[in-house]
Structure 1
Amino acid sequence: MVWECAIPPQEVLTVTNDRQMYELEYPSPSVDSANPKGPALVVAMRGYADAGHAVESAADHLKAALESRTVATFSNDELIDYRSRRPTVTLAHSEITDIADLQLDMRVLRDANGKSFLLLSGPEPDLRWEAFSNAVADLVERFNVEKTICLYAAPMGAPHTRPLVVSAHGNDSDLVGSMYTFDGMVSIPGSASILIERELHGRGRNVAGYTAHVPHYVAASPYPHATFQLLQSVQDSTGLKFPLGSLEGDMRRVTQQLAEQTTNSDEIAHVVQALEEHYDQEMEEYRSRHPQAMMPGEAQMPSGEEISEAFENYLTAIEDRDRTREEQRSLPHDEATDQRLRDHFFIDPAQPEIDDAAERSRDDDNGTGDDTDRGENRSGD
């Protein structure tokens, strides 16, 4: 039996294309970046791979701490299964006052130094993963994204008393660098972010994934250590600067709570000790296989480019300081003004190394000053 289509093929294509995956904001905010190669994109969608709520917390922290503007909004009707992900509805005084936001969008943010980057956040889509990953890849090309980093968090047999591991995978050596990587083969459940990685890799775009190894016994609770380490890893590989002070305070509080619980239970302490022994052995073996790798808890070493830039800034600062001093020496000498400055800044005139005006005054008294300057001062008086 041959099935006949009532709609011509070209009309079918038209109907399919009308199902818009996303809507661009109008007027569109600027997505310019200090990097001529284009901005970075951070993908932090909340889904199953979010132990310790680390990925969701990372996105929420960035949106709360930094200036942001929406660039593209994805269609919930195309991507969300409301029966499996029912939004929370709030009723007050017999009226609906609020419905939980399930919005999935892409935003442009400015880091602490004013540098632009993109953030894709919200619920992981339930439907149309292939079309969604293609749409995200189209936006990556539209905004000329230089590098994309997808964030994950997985429950692992790791103790909370050791530095948290963030493992990396990807097709760009600059993004993976000397981070912790898996040597063998591993099979994991798929996700929408993984499909985005595959699509970007197929288009020749730089992409990587960072996974925080969250202790399995705290995976169901917020674990700020994982959020902090994910964002720190993004900073190290992109040069972005995030305000992380509030996360450090949360880390100290959670660390204290875990320490108290461990101390009060011999059973928990025994389990943690066994995990510590396994962790230490695994890290020692990894170090022997990768002597140049940056181990968890070790500081990120600056690159040659960063060292060169810092040295140039240092030389520029010295030149600016010397130029300022020369300009100050060329000003007419006014003892009354010098005295007011000393009184204001509590400068001791007995310390000539911090008082250029006093030093020049002594040179003038000893006859070593410039005659022209002294003549101008007398005429000014």
Structure 2
Amino acid sequence: MQDNSRRMYELEYPAPEMKPKNGTTLVVALQGYADAGQAVDSSASHLLSSLENSPVAAFNNDELIDYRSRRPAVRISNHEVVGMDELTLGLYAMRDSAGNPFLLLAGPEPDMRWNAFTDAVIDLSERFNVSRTICLYSAPMTVPHTRPLLVTAHGTADEITRRHFRVNSNMTLPGSASLQLEYVLGSKGRSVAGFTAHVPHYIAASNYPEATLKLLRAVETAGSLSLPLGSLEQDSAKMMTLLREQVDDSGEIAAMVQSLEQSYDEEIESYREDNPEALLPGATEATDADALAEEFERFLASVDKPADPRDGEDDSSDISGDGEDPAPGPDDRDS
């Protein structure tokens, strides 16, 4: 007889339909690891508060969480315990601003049973037709807030990560449940990407909306999603104003920021020389020349296509506006 207390998660019923044409995107935003500026936690909170969503699966906290390492806040009023924060690790079915479905895995990072947790997430991914997984991180770095925030990418999904800034070197990092999930998915040949926001180290302990904004913009692009980011843009602008005022009031801080700016500019220029096609921070996505050429050829073909006699004299392919002259053919266009 199976011990129900050992179950990793419970599915909600009825389960939502998650069968988009190109597969489902899974966004992983786990609290507790590499979350400078609270960007990962804020990303999950923003998505859940601003988009239509419903729970898909709830994970068993008693199997995964060490309550002594992340004690939930308890509220006492008039010598009575009146409330206690819940730690919720769950999978949510989301709808973006255009109604496109995707999944969000959010909540505290598991303290225990990472292998079983990874197997459970992969099982859920297969159940809901996940075609790509995007994991979010945020790290304190020696970068200035006065330059565009850098988001680095890694993973097996080259079609997602190749245009982002990538660290082309070897490194060893402390593990996490999200990184283990990436590793196992990659070893199975799955499409997986990780995005890390580089937060100025002197702001890492504070809420930094700019990092949240840039992480979600990366998710938006990688997952072909439409996300409501207007409030984050406003919050980021307010934070930048406050930081600018603090720098102006302190010559010591201004000197430190200036030194960081110089190092940042040198690093970006060096990376640009080695990766001329990369989309660097502060730049906008350029239109692919080949795709533009193909689209233009399709347009010309539609213009050149002879009118169908069955369509009558008012054929919509007449673009002259007077209904007399046919659309110009290939030999009539200027060279």
TM above 0.5, yes or no, is: yes
Letter in 1 for 2:234: G
Which residue in the other structure is 1:246 paired with? Answer: 231
1:27 to 14, 32, 37: 14
* CA RMSD in angstroms, aligned pairs only: 2.5
Give the match for residue 184 of structure 2.
199
Q: Please give the TM-score of this superposition, normalised by the length of structure 1.
A: 0.75
Contact 1:262 1:268 in 2 (8 A): yes
Aligned 8 A contact 1:168 1:179 in 2: yes
| Pair member with larger Rg | 1
Q: Structure 2 counterpart of 1:293, which letter?
A: A
Q: Does 1:237 align with 2:219?
A: no
Structure 2 SS opposite 1:299: coil
8 Å Cα contact 2:33-2:137 kept in structure 1: no
- Give 1:70 shift: 0.3
**Higher RCO structure, 1 or 2 (CA under 8 Å, sep 6+):** 2
2:73 counterpart of 1:88: yes
In the other structure, the counterpart of 1:52 is: 37
Alignment of 1:281-320 (within 5 A): 281-302=266-287
Overall identity of the aligned pairs, in %: 51
The equivalent of 1:210 in structure 2 is: 195
Hey, what does 1:41 align to over in structure 2? 26
How many residues are paired up?
304
2:72 and 2:295 map into 1 onto residues whose CA distance is 49
- Does 2:163 match 1:178? yes
TM-superposed CA distance for 1:98, in Å, is 2.1
Q: Which runs of 5+ in 1 are unaligned?
A: 1-10, 316-381
- What is the letter of the counterpart of residue 214 of structure 1? V
The aligned residue for residue 223 of structure 1 is 208
Separation of aligned partners in 1, 2:35 and 2:288: 31
Instruction: Choose the corresponding residue for 2:147, options 150, 156, 162.
Output: 162
**Secondary structure of the residue that 2:130 maps to in structure 1?**
coil
Alignment match, 1:366: none
Pairwise CA distance, 1:302 = 4.2
1:4-25 Cα distance to aligned partner (Å, 9 max, x none): xxxxxxx8xx55x861100100
Q: Deviations for 1:91-115, whole angstroms, at most 9, x for unmatched residues? A: 2334333211211000011000000
Amino acid at match of 1:42: V
Distance in 2 between residues matched to 1:310 and 1:123, nearest whole Å: 46
- Distance (Å, rounded) in 1 between the aligned partners of 2:178 and 2:78: 41
- Structure 2 gaps, min length 5: 301-335
- Which residue number in structure 1 is paired with residue 98 of structure 2? 113
| 1:52–1:218 Cα contact (<8 Å) kept | yes
Amino acid at match of 1:203: K
Structure 1 counterpart of 2:54, one-letter code: R
Q: Match for 2:223: what amino acid?
A: T
1:128-147 aligned within 5 A: 128-147=113-132
Tell me the CA shift for residue 305 of structure 1.
9.6
The CA deviation at 1:78 is 0.2
CA distance in 2, matches of 1:272, 1:258: 11
CA distance in 2, matches of 1:28, 1:95: 39
Structure 1 residues 46-91: Cα deviation after superposition (integer angstroms, max 9, x where no partner): 1131000000000000000000000010000000111111111112
Q: Which of 243, 253, 268 lines up with 1:258 in the alignment?
A: 243
Alignment check: 8 A CA contact 2:132 2:191 kept: yes
Equivalent residue number for residue 257 of structure 2:
272
- Please tell me the residue identity of whatever aligns with 1:243: P
Report deviation, 1:308: 9.0
Matched, 1:99 2:84: yes
CA distance in 2: counterparts of 1:224 and 1:61, whole angstroms:
11
Q: Does 1:189 align with 2:185?
A: no
Structure in which a larger fraction of residues adopt helix: 1
SS at 1:183 equivalent? coil
AA in 1 matched with 2:158: S
CA distance in structure 2 between the partners assigned to 1:27 and 1:294 by the alignment: 42
Q: Quick one: distance in 2 between partners of 1:107 and 1:307?
A: 37
Whole-Å Cα distance in 2 between the matches of residues 103 and 160 of structure 1? 32
Q: Quote the Cα distance in structure 2 between the aligned partners of 1:37 and 1:57.
A: 28
CA distance in structure 1 between the partners assigned to 2:293 and 2:85 by the alignment: 49
Q: Quick check: 1:24–1:73 contact (8 Å CA) kept in 2?
A: yes
Cα gap change, 1:311 to 1:56, in 2 (>3 Å):
farther
Alpha-carbon distance between aligned partners in 2 of 1:61 and 1:308, rounded to the nearest angstrom = 38
Q: Given that residues 30 and 105 in structure 2 are in contact (C-alpha distance below 8 angstroms), is that contact kept between their aligned partners in structure 1?
A: yes
| TM-score where L is the length of structure 2 | 0.85
C-alpha displacement of 1:27: 1.6
